[in-house]
A and B are shown apart, each in its own frame.
Chain A
């Protein structure tokens, strides 16, 4: 079991800002390990995920990722509601980043795993928040990634959908992948017995 990610004393401030969003944050993650990042709104939880993805750059410190680390990213929301794409097509997107060249069987397997196979032909934009989250998780599973980043996975979910999501996360098998989940939802964080990192609002 090796280290796949090491964040060392990282700090971040937006280019136009004179204040740090967070500073002196350190954490690491091994293969198949789970990390829950909790904290209030505006404390930089989502920013940490974007730094890991390379969408933003750290202002100080550094983040070291294992070479060729395959990262799947599940967003909080999808601001493109009118885009005509089926749930199955969304899951198929995961194949683009799948280095094992798995085919449609992987799509079906991933959709079965998150309980969204029956939604395959539906337009993604017509799905409820919970259904979209299942489809997005299936896309990530389909990517066969080393690390899964979940950004506020319980946003916009009703109680039933949240329970389903927690059940999926609890039942991830040991050999699947490492996971970093960001949440400020106490119901989710209390249900998951994962390593934790607390962020604070500056």
Chain B
């Protein structure tokens, strides 16, 4: 206990807790957007965008986050352009972009002699490495996510239900789709700093998958995902501090366990109601 109390006198530990708590509430909202809009392939593309951005920033000695965020926004803009006439699906566009980003990352890494070890470090983030500026960006993004969902709940729920119905009812589908893609790009870029490119799903997608199994409404799905994300990220953070384990790994295992538990509980419920 004394060790834990001592740890919380250190700024990186406090920043880490704030970062995990705030993103635990906000980021699963982006996860709902990803899951409901079928943007999982795009999320993979953004992860590869993170790797390309990382290689690019190491090669040119530029700050990591702005480069990664700008690159991911550019990739999303390209995807929107490819999807504009409706002939190329977002899934196809993101697959093409994913291959492109990895190819480019490989070439830049080779030309600028970027050490593979440095590149791989991008794949493992750390909440202890958050700077004040990172924390501010993270809080702003989380607040923006909450505000977006609260203000545009009705059109967003209509879009999730059916694009054609939303469009015929007067929802500006192109505006909301573009905004949701941009929000997703920024969330993945920011989440990378916390958990690393490989384990973003633990904070963004897994809480949603867990909460949505038993959700009876979209409102319940949003609220349940945020609560699950918050509880998982804070609990995971404390477990990692107490047992001296990597936060991203603990959170990923915890989130996967909660998801598996959710499946088990709902199966038991179904079996009981059938008897």
Query: Residues of A with Cβ closer than 8 Å to B?
Result: 15-16, 53, 55, 71-73, 75, 78-80, 83-86, 89-90, 93-94, 96-97, 123, 139, 143, 149
Q: B171 contacts A55, CB within 8 Å?
A: no
Q: A55-B167, A143-B169 are in contact. Are A84 and B161 (CB under 8 A)?
A: no
Complex CA gap A55/B165 in Å reads: 11
Complex CA gap A86/B216 in Å reads: 8
Question: Which among A53, A85, A90, A139 is the interface contact of B167 at CB below 8 angstroms?
Answer: A53
Interfacial residues of chain B within 212-233, with CB under 8 A of chain A in the complex:
212, 215-218, 220-221
Q: A96 contacts B161, CB within 8 Å?
A: no
Q: A97-B169, A123-B216 are in contact. Are A15 and B157 (CB under 8 A)?
A: no
Question: Which among B168, B171, B221 is the interface contact of A73 at CB below 8 angstroms?
Answer: B168
Complex CA gap A169/B24 in Å reads: 50
Q: A89 contacts B165, CB within 8 Å?
A: no
- Cβ-based interface call for B61 (8 A): no
Most chain B Cβ neighbours within 10 Å, of A53, A78, A85, A123: A85
Q: Which residues of A contact B36 (CB under 8 A)?
A: 83
Q: B220 contacts A80, CB within 8 Å?
A: no
Q: B85 contacts A53, CB within 8 Å?
A: no
Q: Which residues of B contact A89 (CB under 8 A)?
A: 157, 217-218
Known contacts A80-B160, A97-B169; 17 additional CB pairs below 8 A are: A15-B87, A55-B164, A72-B168, A73-B164, A73-B165, A75-B165, A83-B160, A83-B218, A84-B212, A86-B217, A89-B157, A89-B218, A93-B154, A93-B158, A96-B155, A96-B169, A96-B170
Question: Which among A16, A72, A86, A97 is the interface contact of B87 at CB below 8 angstroms?
Answer: A16
Interfacial residues of chain B within 26-59, with CB under 8 A of chain A in the complex:
36
Give the interface size class of chain B.
20 to 34
Q: B162 contacts A84, CB within 8 Å?
A: no
Q: B169 contacts A84, CB within 8 Å?
A: no
Q: Which residues of A contact B160 (CB under 8 A)?
A: 80, 83
Q: B171 contacts A96, CB within 8 Å?
A: yes
Q: Which residues of B contact A16 (CB under 8 A)?
A: 87
The number of residue pairs between A and B whose CB atoms lie closer than 8 Å in the complex comes to 65
> Which residue of the partner chain A has the closest CB to B170?
A97
> Which residue of the partner chain A has the closest CB to B216?
A84
Q: B155 contacts A84, CB within 8 Å?
A: no
What 0/1 readout, one digit per residue, does chain B (193-206) give for beta carbons within 8 Å of chain A? 00000000000000
Q: Which residues of B contact A53 (CB under 8 A)?
A: 164, 167-168
Shortest C-beta distance, B174 to chain A (Å), equals 12
Q: B169 contacts A94, CB within 8 Å?
A: yes
Shortest C-beta distance, A135 to chain B (Å), equals 12
Complex CA gap A15/B84 in Å reads: 13
Q: Which residues of B contact A72 (CB under 8 A)?
A: 168-169
Q: Which residues of A contact B220 (CB under 8 A)?
A: 84
Q: A83-B36, A84-B217, A89-B157 are in contact. Are A15 and B85 (CB under 8 A)?
A: yes
Q: Which residues of A contact B171 (CB under 8 A)?
A: 96
Q: A89-B157, A96-B154, A96-B171 are in contact. Are A84 and B165 (CB under 8 A)?
A: no
**Nearest 8 pairs of A and B residues by beta carbon:** A73-B168, A97-B169, A97-B170, A84-B215, A96-B169, A93-B158, A53-B168, A84-B217
Q: A93 contacts B217, CB within 8 Å?
A: no
Q: Which residues of B contact A123 (CB under 8 A)?
A: 216
What 0/1 readout, one digit per residue, does chain B (225-252) give for beta carbons within 8 Å of chain A? 0000000000000000000000000000
Q: B168 contacts A85, CB within 8 Å?
A: no
Q: Which residues of A contact B168 (CB under 8 A)?
A: 53, 71-73, 97, 149
Shortest C-beta distance, B210 to chain A (Å), equals 14
Complex CA gap A90/B220 in Å reads: 16
Q: Which residues of B contact A55 (CB under 8 A)?
A: 164, 167
Most chain B Cβ neighbours within 10 Å, of A79, A84, A86, A123: A84
Could you jot down 22 A-B contacts, CB within 8 Å? Answer: A16-B87, A55-B164, A55-B167, A71-B168, A72-B169, A75-B162, A75-B165, A78-B162, A84-B217, A84-B220, A85-B157, A85-B161, A85-B218, A93-B154, A93-B157, A93-B158, A93-B165, A93-B169, A94-B169, A96-B169, A96-B170, A97-B169
